[in-house]
Amino acid sequence: MPKFPGIKGIFLDEDPLMEQGSKGLKGISIPDCGLKKSDLKKDESAYIDAKYIRKSPPELPEVSEPTVVRHFTRLSSWNMCVDTVFYPLGSCTMKYNPKINEKIASLENIKNLHPLTPGSLIQPVLKMVYDFNEILCRLTGLAEFSFAPQAGAAGEFAGLKIIKKYFDLKGENRKTILVPDSSHGTNPASSVLAGFTPVEIKTGKAGTLDAGELEKFVSKDVAGIMITNPNTFGVFEKDIKKIAEIMHKNGSFIYMDGANFNAFLGSARVSDMGIDLIQLNLHKTFSTPHGGGGPGSGALGVVESLREFLPVPYVKKVSGENTAGADKNFNRQVYELAEDKNNTIGKMTPFLCNFAVVIRAYAYLLSLGRENIASVSELAVLNANYVKKKLGKILSDPGPFEEGLCMHECVFNDKAIEENGISTIELAKLLIDYGFHPPTVYFPKNIRGAIMIEPTETESIRTLDNFIKAVKEIRFKTKKSKAVKSPQKTKVGRVNEVLANKHPIFKY
Amino acid sequence: MNNFRYFPNSKKDIAKLYRILGIKDKKELFGKILGGIPLMEAGILKALPEEMDEEALYRFFLNIDSNIPAKNKTAVFAGGGIYNHFVPAAIDGLMSRSEFYTPYTPYQPEVSQGTLFALFEFQSMIAEILGMDVVNASMYDGAESLAEAVLAAMRLSSANRDLPAGHKDDLILISEGVNPNYTSVIKTFAGGTGVKIGKIKLNGQTGQTDIEDLKQKLANGGRVPAVVVQQPNYLGVIEDLEEIEPLIHSDSNSSFIVSSTEPYSFGVINPPGFYNADIFAGEGNSFGNYMNFGGPLLGLFAAKKEYVRQMPGRIVGKTKDGKDRDAYAFILSTREQHIRRGAATSNICTNSSLNAVRAAIYLSLCSKSGFKEIASLNLKLAHILRDRLLSSGLFEPLYEGDFFNEFSLKLKIKGNKHNNNITASEFIEKMAERDILAGIAISESAVLISATENNGLSDIEKYAENAKEVLNA
C-alpha cells in the first residue's frame, strides 16, 4: 500500500503584487514599432480630443518579470490539481488532461489565427471542426452538433431556446420544463433563462425517475424534460426509453444533460435512449482542462428535426462530395462559415466557438481512436463501482441506490461518519490533509450530507485503495476534535466565509 | 481491452476489478446497467478514425497549422471584437503549470488559494482599469457578458418599480455602434422575455451614437431598463459618454450599460466608471490571451457596488482563516445556480477562469507604465496607418470621430466604380493572399481596420504598398 501523499512541507507565502512594486518598474518587453522619437513623445491630445483623455493611468502593480513569475508560481503551489492529487469531484469528470493536447493547442499559427480570416485561407481549420462534428454525431447517434455553447450551462440554454422556438413556430405556448430534483442547479436556471418554468419531480427510491411518477406531470403545457443520465447519483435512468416515449407521445422533447456522458463514451448512444438534445461538456468527457473554473465547451447535439434551429455561424460543407486529392493540401474552398439555418435561435458568442477547447477535444478523440474509445466508459464505470463496493462497507449505508451497479460515480450519505461525530464537510477537509481533493459534497441536495465520488478512468486501483484507506481511517479512527480543525496542512485553514459575505472585499 | 497510455489500470488490474465486482465482462456489466439499451455496435465504432500515435497526431495538427496563415508572415490588421496583441512568453511559461490549468472551480478554498488569489488580483486590476467598483471572476465572452448585463438591468428596473419581472412593455435601447454580433447575442438571451429591442442611430458624420436620436427614443415614453453603448464603438469611434450619461440617468429606472471589445483603450481614454456607468460588460481577450480563432475569450463584467446582488457569475472576496491569515473565497454565492437553482441571477457555472488568470499575469507584467505605453502606441500606430492610407488617395474616411486603435475607411470610388471595381470583401481577400489581413469588410465598400503594437511601421508600409497594387491593378 502506498503512503498517503499528504505530508508536511514548506508553503511559501506571498504578498499581493500591488505591495511589491517599485515606481517605474515593468515586466514587459514593448515591441519596437519603429516610431520616430518625436511621435513617441507626442501627447495623446495630438490625436484625440483632450476631453476624452484619461488623466491618471490605472494603478497597476509596478513590477519586473522575475517578480511576476515568482509571484504566480508561488500562487500556483497553493492549488491542488489533477496532476498532483486524486481529484474525485463527482459530476466534474476530473480526468487526466493529456499534455500533447496542450502542445497542439499552442501551435503558433493556430493560436494566433484571427476568427475573421477569409474562408479560403482557413480550410483545414474549418474541416477539423466539421469532421469532429461528424464524430460526435456517430458517438451519440444525433444528427448535428453546434460548438457555439461555451460551457455546459450554455449548451443547456441553447437546447432549451431551441425547444422554445420550436413551439413558438408551431404556435403552441408550452411553459413547463420538467426537471428531477436531483438535477444540476444549471438545469432549472437555464430553463428560466430560456423563458420556461421549471417544475421539479421527486426521484424515486432507487434514485431514478419513475415513468409512472412522470405521467402525473404530463400535460400539454410541458415542452420537455431535462434529465441527467446517468443521473447525479451516478445511476442509469432505467426508464429512459419509456420517459422519452411519454414525452414524444405528448409532443414534448427530452433533453439530456450530458455532463455525465463519460459513462457512455463509446459504449452506448443516446439516440438509442430516445434523446432529442444533449450537450457534451468537452471539458469533462473529452479531457480538456478545467482551468480552475473554465473555459470549457458545451457542444450541443440535436436530432434531425431540430438541425435548422441550431445557433449560427456553423461550418458548412459547400462543395465536393468526393474531394479526395483535390483538397488534400486544402487548396479548394470546401467548407465555409454559414449562417443559413432557417429557424436558428441566433448567436451565442461573437465568433464560431471556443476553438482552443474544441481542438484539444478532437486531439483526444484521435489519440484514442476506435480501438480505445469504448474503454473510457468501461474503465470509468469499473472504477466507480469498485469505490462504491469498497466504501459501501465503510460508509455502510448504500445511499440512494439499492444493491445495483452505479455508472461513473457513486454517492454516499453521512449516516456512517455521523456515528463518530464527523460531518460531510469535515470528512472533505480531513481528506485534504491526507493529500486528496475532496469529493463533491452536499450534492445532490436530496441526499443527506451527500458525498459524491467520481474516480474517472485515469486512476489506478492503487490510488483508489489509498483513498479508500484514508476514508476508513477517518471513519473509524478520527476524533471530532481533529476534524473541526482540519485541514491543517494547507496554506490557509478553514476559511471564514461568514466574514467574507458579511463584509465583502472585492478588490485591493 | 487494450492498455492505452492514459489508462493506469493494467489488464491484470481490470480482471481484478471484474472479479471483485463479481462480473464477467463488459457485456455483462453494461447489460446489467443499461437494461434494454444496446451496447454500441462494432460497426459504429469501426466508422471512427483509427488510433493515432502521439507523433502522428502532432504531425496531423502541424500539417493543419502549416496550411493556414502563418504568424511569422502575416500582418494582422483585422479587429472587429478581437485584437492581435503581443503575448509575453512569461504568460505561457506560467500557464503551463498544471496547478493553474488542471484544477476545477475553487469550491474548496483551502486547496485553491492560488487560483482564488490570482482571480482576486484580476478583479482588482480590471476594476482599476474600468474605474468600476466590483468585477466578477469572468464570463464566457464580451457578447454573453453584455447580454447578461441587459438581463441584470431588467431585473434592477423591475425591482425599482416594484413590478413583477414582466417585460412586455420594456424597451432596451442599443446603439448601432455596438458590435453587431453582440447585439445578436443580446437578442438570443433577451428574446424570451418579451422585451423589445430598439436601435439608436449613429451620427452620419462623426460615427458616434446620435444624441438627438437617443433623446427622441427616450422621450417616446415607455420603460427603458437599459441603454447600451460601446466604447470605442464597433466602427472604432470614441463615444461622447459625457453627453449620453445624463440623458439615461434622468430616468432612475434606466441603467447605463457600457460595453467594449477593446478595454486597452482605457489606457488612453476615460474609463466607463469615469462616466458613471452602472454596468460594464465587454471583452478582455486583449489582455494576454491569444486570438485562438475566436475562442475561448474573456468576458468582463463590472458594476456599481449597489448592484452586486444582481450580478451574474462568481465573485472572489478577501477574508480570513481561523488563524486570522488572509484567505480568499467565492462570496455572495446565493446569487448563483448551484445554490439558488431557478431563481439564480444566471445559469453560468464554468466561465473563463484561466483566461482571467492570464489577464492578471499580463497586466502585472505590463505594470502601470507599460500598460499606458502600449495603449498609447496603439493609438499612434492606428493614426499613422489611417493617415498613410488616406494620403494614398485610394481611400476616403467613413467617419470623422476620434478613434483609438480601430477605424473604418471607404474604398474610393473612381467615376461610378469602386477602385478597380472591387468590393471591400474582395479587397480583403486579395490582400490576404499577400499575407496581410487588411481588416473586415463592413459593407460593400467599407473596411474596418485596426492597428496594434504587433504591427510596426514596416507592416503599415507593407499594407499601404500592397493596397496600392491591389486597388490599382
Tens-digit pLDDT profile for residues A93-137: 999 999 999 999 999 999 999 999 999 999 999 999 999 999 999
pLDDT value of position B421: 76
Q: Does A22 touch chain B (CB under 8 A)?
A: no
Grade residue B204 by pLDDT with cuts at 50, 70 and 90: very high
Beta strand segments in B107-217, E: 134-135, 170-175, 196-200
- Mapped to the 3 state alphabet, what secondary structure does A162-182 carry? HHHHHHHHHCCCCCEEEEECC
Q: Which residues in A lie closer than 8 A to residue B125 (C-beta atoms)? A: 58, 60-61
Alpha helices, DSSP H, located in B176-310? 180-190, 211-219, 241-249
CA B11 to chain centre: 46
pLDDT of residue B117: 98
- From 3.40.190.10, 3.90.420.10, 3.90.1150.10, 3.30.450.20, which CATH number describes the B75-85+369-472 domain? 3.90.1150.10
Whether residues A348 and B185 touch (CB distance < 8 A) is answered with yes
Give the containing element (helix H, strand E) for A411: strand A410-412
Give the integer Cα–Cα distance in Å for B224 and B200.
13
Contact across the interface for A295 and B81, Cβ inside 8 Å: no
**Mean per-residue pLDDT for A467-483?**
95
pLDDT for the residue B137: 98
CB contact under 8 A, A110 and B337: no
Please give the CATH number for the structural domain made up of B91-363. Answer: 3.40.640.10
CB A363 within 8 A of CB A437: no
- CB contacts under 8 A, A 54-73 vs B, are 54, 57-63, 65, 68-69, 71-73
Q: Which three cell numbers stand for residue A297?
A: 465547451
Which site among B33, B197, B355, B433 would you substitute to test the A interface, given the most A Cβ atoms closer than 10 Å to its Cβ? B33
For B49, name the nearest residue in chain A, comparing CA atoms only.
Answer: A369
- Check pLDDT > 70 for residue A437: yes
Q: Domains of chain A (ranges plus CATH)?
A: 103-365 (3.40.640.10)
Average pLDDT, chain A: 94
What is the nearest CA distance from A213 to chain B, expressed in angstroms?
20
User: Is the CB of residue B42 less than 8 Å from the CB of residue A278?
Assistant: no
Cβ atoms of A255 and A270 closer than 8 Å:
no
Q: Looking at residue A326, what is its pLDDT?
A: 46
Whether pLDDT at A331 is above 90: no
pLDDT value at A400 more than 70: no
CB-based contact B230:B182 (threshold 8 Å)? yes
- In this predicted model, what pLDDT tens digit does every residue of B252-268 receive, in sequence order? 889 999 999 999 999 99
Q: Which of A32, A37, A72 to mutate to test the interface with B (most CBs of B within 10 A)?
A: A72
Res A206: pLDDT: 78
Average the pLDDT over A422-447 and give the result: 95
pLDDT recorded at residue A61: 98
pLDDT of residue A207: 81
Of A98, A151, A346, nearest to B188 by CB-CB distance is A346
Contact status, residue B303 vs residue B152, Cβ threshold 8 Å:
yes
Distances (CA, A) of A445 to A348, A449, B145, B462: 30, 8, 29, 62
pLDDT digits (tens, 9 = 90+) for B94-145: 999 999 999 999 999 999 999 999 999 999 999 999 999 999 999 999 999 9
Q: How far B281 CA lies from chain A's nearest CA (Å)?
A: 14
Is A142 within 8 Å of A278 (Cβ atoms)? Answer: yes
Find which of B21, B40, B340 to mutate to test the A interface (most A CBs within 10 Å of its CB).
B40
d(CA A422, CA A427): 7
**Contact between B347 and A298 (Cβ < 8 Å):** no
Mark yes or no for CB contact B99/A79 under 8 Å: yes
Q: Is the pLDDT of residue B163 over 90?
A: no
pLDDT for residue B335: 86
> Per the CB < 8 Å rule, is A429 touching B346?
no
pLDDT bin (cut points 50, 70, 90) of residue B433 is very high
Percentage of residues of chain A with pLDDT beyond 90: 89
Q: Which of residues 235-274 of A touch B (CB under 8 A)?
A: 236, 238, 240-241, 266-269, 272-273
Q: Is the pLDDT reported for residue A347 higher than 70?
A: yes
Chain A interface, best mutation among B11, B351, B364, by max A CB count within 10 A: B364
What are the domain boundaries of chain B? 75-85+369-472, 91-363
Compute the nearest-CA separation of B325 from chain A (Å).
7
**Residue B165 pLDDT > 80:** no
Whether residues A28 and B67 touch (CB distance < 8 A) is answered with no
